[in-house]
Chain A
Amino acid sequence: MSSHATTHSGHDAHHDDHHHDPGFIRKYVFSTDHKMIGIQYGITAMLFLAFGFYLMMVMRWSIAFPHQPLPEWMSWVFTDSWKARWLQDGKVTGETYNMFGAMHGTIMVFLGIVPLGFGAFGNYVTPLQIGAPDMAFPRLNMMSYWIYLAGGLVMCASFFMESGAAKSGWTNYSPLAGFADGQIVNQWLAGQTQWLLGLVLLITSSLLGSVNFITTIINLRARGMTWMRMPFFVWAMLVTGFLLLLAFPPLEAAGIMQLMDRVAHSSFFMPSGLFTKSEGLADLSGGGSPLLFQHLFWFLGHPEVYVLLLPAFACVSEIIPANTRKPLWGYKSMVYSVLVLGFLSFIVWAHHMYMTGMGAAVSTFFQTTTVLISVPSVVIITSMLISLWGGSIRFTPPMLWACAFIPMFGIGGLTGLPLAFNLADLHLHDTYYVIGHFHYVVAPGILFGFFAGVVHWYPKITGRYMSSWLNHLHFWPSLVCMNIIFFPMLLQGMAGFHRRWYNGGDAYLAKAADSANVFGKTVAAHIDMNILMSMGAWTMALAQIPFIINLFISWKTGRKVESDNPWEATTLEWATPTPPGHGNFTFDPAVYRGPYEYSRPDCDKDFLPQWIEPKREESADAADAAKTPAAHH
């Protein structure tokens, strides 16, 4: 839409699309359209999420019923031959549990949530919200998706190999991860190595993606879209982009070094004199440092949780104003908070490493920054809460999810505080308390935010609403099950349940049935919770069925939208045709005001979209818009 493009921008872009039909493959498979890529990301990520969920269901069986064979309703997926390799008389073995555990974490984090939040929502919504015709580099965008898919497939392919998939936890700590699968002669065909290869591909994909996002947000904003008029969604994506861009490379470095350890037998992370049961005295030079891996891993690992979280914040912060019909409370403080959050997230990583023998000074530093980082998170979540105050709330399907997001994330966030203090962490480290904490953040928190997002933008993507009835059928059981699964974890954790007990504490009971911890809590008193939690987990799988039905049925049969702006929202994505065509806008978008102008007293309607041209010189804002550069000339 620069001077070269004036002839084009006169056209109806949507209309354009029909004239040069790019063909099925170019349109749906190797598409360069950010919206199609977003949808591809979304569908792929949801498939991976379902897979990761399934792994967890198997693990929960082993925890609740450790001595009983996996029931047929779960084990039918495997072939007899696979079962003979990995299940002992149908029971989940420790090795298999470790494999599923490692891959559950990896898949959920790297293949599920990040691509769903950043890849799918970010891709679909960001260019629309800033009034751009597409991403700055559409082909790079396509490449990001395909590299992501390749990385995911490489990782998961190892399930079907002799070695099995990676088994050393999603954190892949050396020296354990350096040795695992050492019996495999061709290391390139070992699950543990493929995990690293997959990881390097995923990181590459994320880097390309984040370069694209940030460039788009910096340079492709519409006329008048100044920084402080950007929706909070875009800010969150910008910060997410920076987190990916700068936090991922050190892990890529660690991944490459661990790959060297595995295939070139170097000793980056292997200490001298390492002796293992399988290998005896390791045939390695030694001299390396296992701690180095932890540092590099968590340098990514901590920003990564904000990479997961910020897109959920982003979705919810769009949905709340649209459904309370009042501006987002404290927009500016939220923006500054998210920037501070992004910055601080880089210097808190070693709170994952309190138990590694760091000295008091370093521990204190990281404890301080960790406690500090809760401040911006709380500012954001409080702003969302206050945004509800005094609004005329419409309990639309997305709002339902958004409202559940706030308390669920609240529990997740607040249970993190005790872990920030290294004294409390000594007790809680590696217990189910930790699992409960971060699952509260990720599952009922972040995932609820994403469900909200799906329901919210579905009408824009398909032109139809999702069924509200099916949505209720999805939402309520999910909300109940989430709490049934995760709340007992907090209790179990405080009673001392270790997070890696593949038999749910049963073996511990056999050895020390009457031992109690410092709080007088016993494992025996909490072990039956395992069954309740597992039941909850399996029920939750059922609860997702209405969603899947809804997602596909509504595409064809849902209630049609009445206008391009069905929620009567103010941000630019609702100014496009439904669904938006290639090139997005049918007019040259310009922005005249902030993103959340709801219920303005000087306005007849209760919302004033960003793109509506003011009738008269309203304020200094409008004058600004005329001045802001934009470069459309």
Chain B
Amino acid sequence: MADTPEAVQKSIRTYMFVGGVLFLGTIITVLVASVPWLDVGHHGFDVMDAILGLAIAATKASLVAAIFMHLNHEKKAIYWIFGSGFIFVIALFGLTALAKYDPIHDNFFYDGKPAPAVEK
């Protein structure tokens, strides 16, 4: 618990370290996006770059949440609160994206051609 002055004193180094990691992470993200030989996937931006970039961002974000926002040792109530927000934001992302990916296909309506055969 970082609540007593002594414990806080001890955490200072952790904060410094995490700050450094965050700086480093940012530089890596930019390098990955701009230096050709660090480019993953195809040439230029593609899904692989997106995944890598978001993975780095997610790591940085979890560090901020865990260390700076003390989520690594928090009370149960806080986990409940934040967890509920987190679950529903995932639901919002997942289900809207799902609805986007699973439409009734346009050609069903006006293409004139029969719908593509379903592979068995």
Contacts and interface: CB of A to CB of B under 8 A. Distances in A.
Interface of A: 214, 218, 242, 246-247, 250, 291-292, 295, 299, 346-347, 349-350, 353, 357-362, 365
Nearest to B101: A359
B38 interface: no
A347 B77 contact: no
B89 to A, nearest CB: 8
Contacts of B81: 214
Contacts of A357: 103-104
Contact of B104 (A214, A218, A295, A358): A358
Interface in B81-99: 81, 84-85, 88, 91-92, 95-96, 98-99
A346 B98 contact: no
Contacts of A365: 95, 98
A299 B102 CA distance: 18
Contact of A299 (B84, B85, B92): B92
Given A242-B84, A350-B99, A358-B99, 13 more contacts: A218-B77, A246-B85, A291-B99, A295-B96, A299-B92, A347-B91, A347-B95, A350-B95, A359-B102, A360-B102, A361-B98, A362-B99, A362-B102
Shortest 8 CB-CB contacts between residues of A and residues of B: A359-B102, A357-B104, A295-B96, A362-B99, A362-B102, A361-B102, A346-B88, A246-B88
Given A246-B84, A357-B104, A362 B92 contact: no
Contacts of B99: 291, 295, 350, 353, 358-359, 362
A250 B92 CA distance: 9
A247 B87 CA distance: 12
B96 A358 contact: no
Interface of A is mostly: helix
B99 to A, nearest CB: 5
B60 to A, nearest CB: 23
27 contacts: A242-B84, A246-B85, A246-B88, A247-B88, A250-B92, A291-B99, A292-B96, A295-B99, A346-B88, A347-B95, A349-B95, A350-B95, A350-B99, A357-B103, A358-B99, A358-B102, A359-B99, A359-B102, A359-B103, A359-B104, A360-B102, A361-B98, A361-B102, A362-B95, A362-B99, A362-B102, A365-B98
Contacts of B85: 246
A295 B95 CA distance: 9
Contacts of A247: 88
Contacts, number: 40
Of B77, B85, B102, the most chain A CB neighbours within 10 A belong to B102
Interface residues of B, number: 14
Contacts of A291: 99
Nearest to A295: B96
A358 B103 contact: yes
Nearest to B94: A347
Interface string B3-27: 0000000000000000000000000
A299 B92 CA distance: 8
Contacts of A292: 96
A210 to B, nearest CB: 11
A530 B92 CA distance: 40
A115 B30 CA distance: 48
A362 B91 contact: no
A362 B99 CA distance: 6
Nearest to B105: A359
Contacts of B91: 346-347
A436 B36 CA distance: 63
Contacts of B98: 361-362, 365
Contacts of A353: 99
Contacts of A246: 84-85, 88
A365 B88 CA distance: 16
Contacts of A242: 84
Nearest to B108: A357
Contacts of A358: 99, 102-104
Of A214, A353, A362, the most chain B CB neighbours within 10 A belong to A362
Contacts of A360: 102
B88 to A, nearest CB: 5
A350 B99 CA distance: 9
Contacts of B104: 357-359
A290 to B, nearest CB: 13
Contacts of B102: 358-362
A340 to B, nearest CB: 13
Nearest to A363: B102
Contacts of A349: 95
Interface string B98-120: 11001110000000000000000
